[in-house]
Amino acid sequence: MPADLRTRIGHLDLPSPILTASGCAGAGRELAQFTDVARIGAVITKSITLEPRAGNPAPRLAETPSGLLSSPGLQGPGIDGFLQRDLPWLLSRGARAVVSVAGHSAREYGELASRLSDAAGVTAIEVNLGCPDASAAGRPFALDPAAAGQVVAAVRGSARYDIPVFAKLSPEVTDIAAVAREWERRLALLASAVPAVNPPPRVWTAIATRLGLEGVRGAGLAWWQRLGFWRGFAIASFAAALVLSGITLMQPPATPGESLVAVLAGPDAKPVMVATAALDQSVLTLKAVADVTPGPGRVFELWALPEGAAPRSLGVIASAGVVKVRLRGPSGEALARVPALAVSLEPTGGSPSGQPTGPVLYSGRVERLY
């Protein structure tokens, strides 16, 4: 019987405690030729910067009696290239992406966190504090708790609330244990659990007013007013939340059951399709929320990206609008271990190989709403 390697870090559920070290596997493609990247806990990407970087000129490695000196210079595609190419590729393989970020100022780190929060599929953010602080003559942020604290605060303040933030310390110190203890002291307050609070009725009235829902019918505490719904609802980006509000909140209130929802977005993080399914039903509804067409001789194909397995086709989408997709059993079972959905562009009739053959255009995490 295989060992159960499932691991929880904070509120993250990972299939394995094994995560790649940032920089050792690029953005996952380099590792994919050796193993299925969906089987490991997560891929921690090479540190991403705001702008593309060519890195340091060769030679970048030098052998010493005690090992290797490495100075790649943070070569990378920049945040735009990462969101357009690398993140969609990771999601198409069912991998979990912990995105490492690097910058020369707290502002750059905060901007990176904001951009990543607008994208679908970011599991967590790693803050690379080994970067040089431009305002301190290139001294690494990690060597100054105050400067590093500003960076972490900028990332935490700019990142979506449900995306965990991890600070990576630098070994370039005389006593890393002392630095870690100082960080523990400074961040102890963040480790305290914050109890749930039901907002007063005036908050829901303000939300309804801003979303144009003043005419929603029903008495008492409507389902869209419940704290549990908004917790799940806020997992998608703000833009995706507005899309969902237009689809689900305009319906008359009713006593809902649990359901699954996925907001499928392109590389620019703009929502394109929304998939919904009640846990006890065998039909998944896919609704286009943007004007997209596959083009002549092409169709969209919807894929489930299960944990530790190859993508599984859920059906061909021949046209935009609202499409009903028949599942193999209730969605709560058919999508139980499917953390993400994706849409690829395929020839008429669908993929000839049973796996995505065309580009993966849209993807999104599957979330459970209560």
Q: Centre a 10 Å sphere on the Cβ of residue 256 and count the other Cβ atoms it contains.
A: 15
Q: Centre a 10 Å sphere on the Cβ of residue 170 and count the other Cβ atoms it contains.
A: 16
**CA pair distance 99, 341, nearest whole angstrom:** 20
**CA pair distance 146, 130, nearest whole angstrom:** 14
Identify the bridge partners of residue 275 per DSSP, sorted by sequence position. 262, 286
**CA pair distance 86, 74, nearest whole angstrom:** 16
**CA pair distance 121, 184, nearest whole angstrom:** 29
Q: Which two tokens stand for residue 241?
A: 């939340």
Active site members: 131
Q: Using the 8-state DSSP alphabet, how is residue 280 labeled? A: T
Give Cα separations from 355 to 32, 314, 359, 360 (angstroms): 16, 11, 11, 11
Long-range contact pairs involving 181-184 (C-beta distance under 8 Å, separation at least 24): 182/145, 183/145, 183/148
Half-sphere exposure (CA, 13 Å, Cβ side) for 368? 13
Q: Using the 8-state DSSP alphabet, how is residue 48 labeled? A: B
Q: Using the 8-state DSSP alphabet, how is residue 97 labeled? A: E
Residue spans of beta strands (DSSP E) within the chain: 7-9, 12-14, 43-44, 61-64, 67-70, 97-101, 122-128, 132-133, 139-140, 165-168, 259-265, 271-278, 283-288, 298-305, 312-317, 322-326, 340-347, 360-369
Q: Centre a 10 Å sphere on the Cβ of residue 241 and count the other Cβ atoms it contains.
A: 18
Question: Could you give phi then psi for residue 88, rounded to 5 degrees?
Answer: -60, -35
